[in-house]
Amino acid sequence: MFILHLALGGCLKSPPVHYGITADTGGHIAYILDAAAAQADNIDTDQVSIVTRLFEDEGLAPDHAVTSERVSPRLTIDRIATADRRYLEKDALAQDMPAFTEAFCAHLARLPRLPDVIHAHFSDAAAVAAEARRRFAIPFVYTPHALGIDKRTQQGSCPALDARIAAEERAIAQADAIIVSTRDEADRQVRAYASSMPAHTHCIPPGVPSRVAAPAEPAPTLADRLDQWLDVSARPIILAIARPVAKKNLIGLARAYAASPALQAVANLVILAGQHDGPASPEERGVLDALRVVAAQPAMRGRFALPPTHDGRDVAALYDRAAKGGVFVNPAFHEPFGLTLIEAAAAGVPVVATQAGGPREIVAALCHGLLIDPRDDDAIADACLTLLTDAGRHARMSDAGRRGVLRYDWGRYAEESLALYARLPRAPALLASDIDHTLTGCPAGAHAFAQWRRDSDLPFVVATGRSFAMARMILSQWGLPEPDAFITDVGTRIMLKGQRGWHECPVYAARLNDGWDRKAVAAALKPLRLRPQPRDTAGPHKLSFFGTADDAERVRAALAERDLAAKVVYSHGRLIDVLAPLGGKAAAVAAYARRLDLSLGACVAAGDSGNDVDMLEACGHAIVVGNASDELAGLVARDGLMRVKGHHAHGVLEGLERLSLTQPLMARASAA
């Protein structure tokens, strides 16, 4: 399976990540990296790509301007560039979304293999994934991480928040499935949206974040240097780690500590509030300034550490330090999940956590802490004091956290998420089949195919090298059904049925004029003295000859010498067709599929010879019948390409059976 994670916001790079360097570089980055790494390690995974924006900023690492990073043998971080190379905060991304969407779809089109699923993180990525699904038929999963509807309950309505909630509503409605981390997210938060469907929402808990990267040489961590800020650094610590934004309520914790002499007497306060030297929003600067005001109070000096920078080693070391009689606090006004709470549990640190959101579920499951009302400063202080002064309770909660956190495992997350991806709907929506030696060649097979057609509502087109008149005659002679449309003349003509009968698609015909100089092509090939096929096989966008594979190479060379654009198709061991550069069966199938609002990814191609190669390569599903010529021997094996045993129409039906688009062969034979 090829999995693509899509995340637009934040500074997403291979570890170590500078968490907190921007307002959007927080817990979701850790989630994505760890989820992708676990999935890449799964035996059922071939490739995982994390796709994000490419940007250049003097204050940020140059890694973010690197097109692709290899994190592990099966995991890459791939960056998409637009004309806007600036780093953009989440709220500013909207202006770049149209350009990013086009660039992302172009990236998909260039891939040798389309991903099996797109896992979109936040609603902006979901909007991009929805457009990619429309064009390429790739299903997508949505993880919200944080939903705006709870925020509106807390702070009221405003245009920006209303727009965010509307985007989340669309993401929930469009996603093939939703993955959240807690039952609170699934049962309350997502279900608060009108478009939610409970059956589409899946609770898959994440694992413990792995933020630590070993340094080249051992170096002191913040835990070793607390005496820079603390007078009595041996005291237990009250630890908090969060971005400096108002909803995390770090100011509430600082106020609670400053107002409690009893708390100050038994513990120091350590708050990691992002990277103070990074780009900061007005909100972040306001929170940091408010924390500095509290830290500067005379009673706080020597008791409150507010380090300006930290890395993964510092975080791990401070958790270990807090486990020695200290406590971890998450005082957020609302927390969708709470990765820091399971980090604390893994380190054996009891917690004081907000009762609003995911922490209620985590603490209930692990029994490693106390819940508080985040708006009650006294309650925060009292809960901290309870855990800090009751050694027996502290020890029990520490042990409970270490034992219980085993349920939060990235390997389990990978297994459950991959199983969900595999169940996503991706049913083929159009069959495009060659005629000669694919549907014809066996009367019994042709009869069985005609019977399938009568019983199936799957749209069906033929894609043949023959002319329209000859194609209709051959179908009639073999008792084969008329299709919904004819793609004829090796993909240089589409015939549609209207109220007045069959007619050529003028839009497609006009498109094939681009870059095509039929007169010049004919003149360039005249010296080769090739024997032309019958006059009725030619057309405005096609010249046809008899010849060998060597003759086909001579044609290509002659056209290249004159710098003339054309497609040269060799098939059936004797036919050479020279097509307009934008023609061919794949192009015609794509054009017809677009009329049905489908992409090539939703199409099934069936064929047996060289003039079928392009559509067999381009369509999401391909059936190579058992009697196929050696011209198809070079088709690259891929997911979706089936080499069936059955010959002619029996082979087509065998492929359709594998796609669950027909009855099993034995059942069909019994019914007959």
CA–CA separation, 566 vs 515, rounded Å? 8
Q: Would you say 100 and 132 are in contact if contact means Cβ atoms under 8 Å apart?
A: no
Distances, alpha carbon 80 to alpha carbons 50, 64, 83, 121, in Å: 11, 10, 10, 16
**CB atoms inside a 10 Å sphere around CB 14:** 17
User: At 225, is the secondary structure helix, strand, or coil?
Assistant: coil
Residue-wise burial string across 166-188, b where 16 or more C-beta atoms lie within 10 A, e elsewhere: ebbbbbbbbbbbbbbbbebbbee
Residue 447's identity, in one-letter code, is: H
Tell me, what's the pLDDT at 10?
Answer: 86
CA–CA separation, 586 vs 605, rounded Å? 9
- Judging by DSSP bridges, how do beta strands 304-305 and 327-330 pair with one another? unpaired
Strand stretches in 181-221, DSSP E: 201-203
Number of residues written out for the chain: 672
Q: Would you say 612 and 631 are in contact if contact means Cβ atoms under 8 Å apart?
A: no
Distances, alpha carbon 549 to alpha carbons 422, 524, 559, 610, in Å: 42, 18, 16, 11
Q: 3-state SS of 331-373?
A: CCCCECCCHHHHHHHHHCCCEEEECCEHHHHHHHHHCCEEEEC
* CATH topology match: 2-203 vs 222-409: yes
Q: Would you say 524 and 545 are in contact if contact means Cβ atoms under 8 Å apart?
A: no
Tell me, what's the pLDDT at 224?
Answer: 87
Has residue 258 got a pLDDT over 80? yes
CA–CA separation, 35 vs 339, rounded Å? 13
CA–CA separation, 401 vs 385, rounded Å? 19
CA–CA separation, 304 vs 459, rounded Å? 69
Instruction: Please compute Rg for the chain using Cα positions.
Output: 31
Element (DSSP H or E) covering residue 420: helix 410-423
Tell me, what's the pLDDT at 216?
Answer: 46
Quick one: how far is CA 659 from the chain centroid? 24
Quote the tokens at residue 29. Answer: 């980055």
Q: For 4, list phi and psi in degrees, rounded to 5.
A: -120, 120
Strand stretches in 42-138, DSSP E: 47-53, 68-72, 75-80, 117-121
- Judging by DSSP bridges, how do beta strands 603-607 and 493-498 pair with one another? unpaired
Tell me, what's the pLDDT at 577?
Answer: 95
| Residue whose tokens read 């991959």 | 418
Has residue 214 got a pLDDT over 50? no
Q: Would you say 73 and 64 are in contact if contact means Cβ atoms under 8 Å apart?
A: no
At 100-127, the pLDDT tens digits run 999 999 999 999 989 989 999 999 999 9
DSSP annotation of 645: S
Strands across the sheet with 575-579, in order? 531-532, 542-546, 575-579, 567-571
**Average pLDDT, integer, range 249-264:** 95
Query: What residues have CB less than 8 Å from 571, skipping those under 6 apart?
Result: 465, 577, 609, 610, 611, 612, 629, 631
Selection from 598, 642, 596, 604 nearest residue 620 by Cα = 604
Q: Write out the DSSP string of 132-180.
A: HHHHH---EEEE-SS-HHHHHHHH---HHHHHHHHHHHHHHHH-SEEEE
Tell me, what's the pLDDT at 425?
Answer: 58
Does domain 430-512+583-671 fall under CATH 3.40.50.20? My reply is no
- 2-203 fold: Rossmann fold (3.40.50)
**191-205, 316-330, 575-589: segment of lowest average pLDDT:** 191-205
CATH class of 222-409: alpha beta
Q: What are the structural domain ranges in the chain?
A: 2-203, 222-409, 430-512+583-671
**Average pLDDT, integer, range 164-184:** 90
Selection from 199, 206, 158 nearest residue 36 by Cα = 206
Q: Would you say 578 and 566 are in contact if contact means Cβ atoms under 8 Å apart?
A: yes
Has residue 671 got a pLDDT over 70? no
Burial class (CB in 10 A: 0-12, 13-18, 19+), 161: middle
Tell me, what's the pLDDT at 666?
Answer: 40
Tell me, what's the pLDDT at 345?
Answer: 94
What predicted TM-score, i.e. pTM, was given to this entire model? 0.60
**12-16, 608-612, 650-654: segment of lowest average pLDDT:** 12-16
| Residue whose tokens read 């027996």 | 392
**62-76, 273-287, 496-510: segment of lowest average pLDDT:** 273-287
**Average pLDDT, integer, range 170-188:** 90
Has residue 539 got a pLDDT over 80? yes
At 549-600, the pLDDT tens digits run 999 999 999 999 999 999 999 998 899 999 999 999 999 998 998 888 776 7
Selection from 238, 341, 310 nearest residue 27 by Cα = 341
**Average pLDDT, integer, range 465-470:** 94
User: At 212, is the secondary structure helix, strand, or coil?
Assistant: coil
As a whole number, the mean pLDDT across the chain is: 90
Has residue 670 got a pLDDT over 50? no
User: At 209, is the secondary structure helix, strand, or coil?
Assistant: coil
Quote the tokens at residue 207. Answer: 């694992």
Quote the tokens at residue 269. Answer: 């306060």
